[in-house]
Structure 1
Amino acid sequence: MDQIHYYQPQPDIRLIDANYQTFAFQRHYHLDFHIGLITKGAQTFRYRGHSHTAHAGQLVLMPPDELHDGEAWQQQGYQVNVFAIDPVSLSELADLRSPEQLLHFQQLIVHDASVFAVLQQAHQWLRQTQLSQLAQDCLPLEGFNLLFERYGALARQPVKRLGRQSLAELKSFLMAHLDQPVRLASLANLCDLSTTQLQRHFKATTGMTPYAWFAQLRLEQSMKLLQRGDAVADVAQQVGFYDQAHFCKAFKRQFGVAPSCVRQ
């Protein structure tokens, strides 16, 4: 049976402690950087056209905005501890000084027992409610330092263009209109493209149609709002679902749990 628990020890850091037996993630992306520690079993996933398998004791370093899926490699399933970290906050932890710099990792899957042990302990400690606030504030830096030192690298922030707009600018526009109906023609006008051009360029850039990408954006934001403590009915409206039942169905299909099961 799938068992999934969510925690939010800090505003920009979310934790997942999960045992996935049958649930399979469809193609999706994250707004945050996801660092997953496979603690039991193995997970297989497709990323940039290639299949990968991460086994117990390995880390998966999944950047934001990258399309991928995921499921158990074998019938016994897999267990995973995940850090979901805002990209800006992750760069701050790595002490990057320039907004043009982007932290990335030289490997998608890391097999390093010492790094794994440090991060697993940090994950366990951050889930403890009795931990002092000062300890919670210090743990992320202490836990990630070794990962940064051994596998971190710097690159310039890539700009993905869609006509006269960047994908980042288009995302900001959509984030500001999550609760509103958005027309393809409006997005095309923003980018100074025809609707057909926008659809083709968007699919080539993201791997998804504008509609599917926007639907994913709504669900990703809904998870953050739920972990912030917002009520399910309020979150559904904030992200553009005016039918709560439809929202709950879409959310469970995406994350494997009902919105009501998500807590701070």
Structure 2
Amino acid sequence: MMMAGQADSGIRRFGARLDKTAFSPHRHDVYTLGLTLRGVQCFNYRGAARQSLPGELVVLHPDELHDGHAGTAEGFAYRAITIQPSAITSILPGQALPFIEGGQSTDRSLKRAVSAALADLDEPLDPLRAADALFDIATALQAAAGQAAPGGPLDAGAAERARSYIHQHLDEPVSMDDLEQVAGQDRWQLSRDFRHLHGTSPYRYLTMRRLDAVRDRSQRGESFVQAALACGFNDQSHMTRHFRATYGLSPARWKRSVMQGAHAARTIVQD
């Protein structure tokens, strides 16, 4: 089993593989959201036998009795994230905890949110990314459970103060504590307003602006290693993962394509 987590964020991530081992009936006081990777994951939940195939999402509500065992001789592997109920209620104040019937969900938004949180499990979870993942999962759980999203006016000023702070601190760690303080707004309301007003989350906005800066530095002749470190990434491989996920190319291939495009444009002008 491999584990990673942030106790202070209210979430923990881990991956495991089970062969002949079985979980006896037990309860957790946290949400457990897991993606089956290989094999057949079988479990009893709320009086019925369930099974999860590769790519399917399991959602166990706090304090619900369940067990677990492999459905075939090959065993099964999965990744999961656990979330403290208090972390959910801080994002959805005054509302009952979202409940997913049957312990499984096919909701695409919820699966995307969980998959994103469980990517790069061996990489430490950046505090801003942890807050981002928590907000996305909480709001997706809410929608999947059929609960209405809270309304209310948007605070454009607070969102703009947070956005400006991000631009001013691209090369430094940025946390929701920082953004909450500079925006003068509750972090979860800020997360909601920022998404509505800027089309993406604070963490993804920060990542995209860092990638913009990497591209600019690269075109001025700086190496990707130097650019990655100067723009707030842990190292070049950290930056490369985000670059490929965003642009569909490695940084080196992107730079070659830019150079080839510039050469072709000069040739056309000369002709």
Higher relative contact order (CA 8 A, sep 6+): 1
Q: TM-score, normalised by structure 2?
A: 0.48
More strand by share: 1
Q: TM-score, normalised by structure 1?
A: 0.49
Larger CA Rg, structure 1 vs 2: 2
More helix by share: 2
